[in-house]
Homo-oligomer: A and B are copies of this chain.
Amino acid sequence: MSRSSSREAIMEATLTALTTHGYADLTIQAIADEFDKSKSLILYHYNSKDALMAAFMEWLLEDFLAKVEDAGSDDPATRLRRMAELVVVGDGDENERAFQTALLELRAQAPYNEALREQLVENDRRIREQIAADVRDGIDRGQFRDVDPEQFAAAFRSAIEGAQSHNVILGEDAPTESALAGIERQLIDELLYADSATKGKTTGGRGGDVELEANH
C-alpha cells in the first residue's frame, strides 16, 4: 500500500469509526476494525491518536475545499452559498448528524490538545482565506460592494460555524433553516451585493443619492 492510498484508507476508516462511536469512545482499534489493516499500520503512519486526529482534520479541510470547487461555479456568491450549505447542513449524507456531533466533541477538546488545536487554527485560516478570496473576486468584478474582505470572512466563517454548532447542539429544535436563510439572504445578498444597497438583490440599480451616501 502506498503512502497515499494507506492514508486515504486510514482517513476513511477514521471517518466511519468516528461517526459510529463518537469521539469520546474512539480508539485506534475501533478505526482498525473499520478496514482490513492492523492497528500497527495506523500507528506506523500516525504515532498517536492526537496525531491521527490532527491529520484527519487536515484531510477534512482538503475534502471541504474540494467540494466547494466541485460545485463548478466561479461565481463568488454561488461559491459562498455552497460553502455555507456544506458547513451548516453538510452534503446530505445520512450520517451527517452523527458525524457533526462527533466533530463538535472533537473541537471541544482542542484547548487540551496542542496538535489538534494547531491543525484547527490552520483550517480556520485556510477557510477564511478562501472566503476572503471569493469576496475580493466579487469586488473586482464589480458585483460586490467594497467591504473589508478579511473582516467579512471572519464574520461569515463565525456565522456558518455557529449555525452548524446550533444544528448539532439543539437538534431538531435548532433554527437552522432560519440561520441559513439569514446568512444567504442578508449576509450574502444584502450585505455584499453592489446593486442591492438597501434591499438585497431582488431590485435592480440604485439611485444617485444612495451612491452619494455611500461615498461620504
Contact = CB atoms under 8 A, between A and B. Distances in A.
Interface of A: 101, 104-105, 107-108, 110-111, 117, 120-121, 124, 128, 145, 147-148, 150-163, 165-166, 168-171, 173-175, 178-179, 181-183, 185-187, 190-191, 194-199, 202-203, 206-216
A77 to B, nearest CB: 15
A179 B199 contact: no
16 contacts: A117-B169, A120-B169, A121-B170, A153-B178, A157-B162, A158-B162, A162-B162, A162-B165, A187-B191, A195-B213, A197-B213, A199-B214, A199-B216, A202-B216, A203-B216, A210-B213
B171 A111 contact: yes
A105 B162 CA distance: 15
Given A110-B170, A158-B179, A209-B209, A145 B191 contact: no
B169 A157 contact: no
Contacts of A105: 108
B179 A154 contact: yes
Contacts of A151: 178, 181-182, 185-186
A181 B206 CA distance: 27
B178 A150 contact: yes
Nearest to A114: B171
Contacts of A107: 104, 108, 165, 169
Contacts of A179: 154-155, 157-158
B191 A190 contact: yes
Contacts of A186: 147-148, 151-152, 155, 191
A205 to B, nearest CB: 10
A181 to B, nearest CB: 5
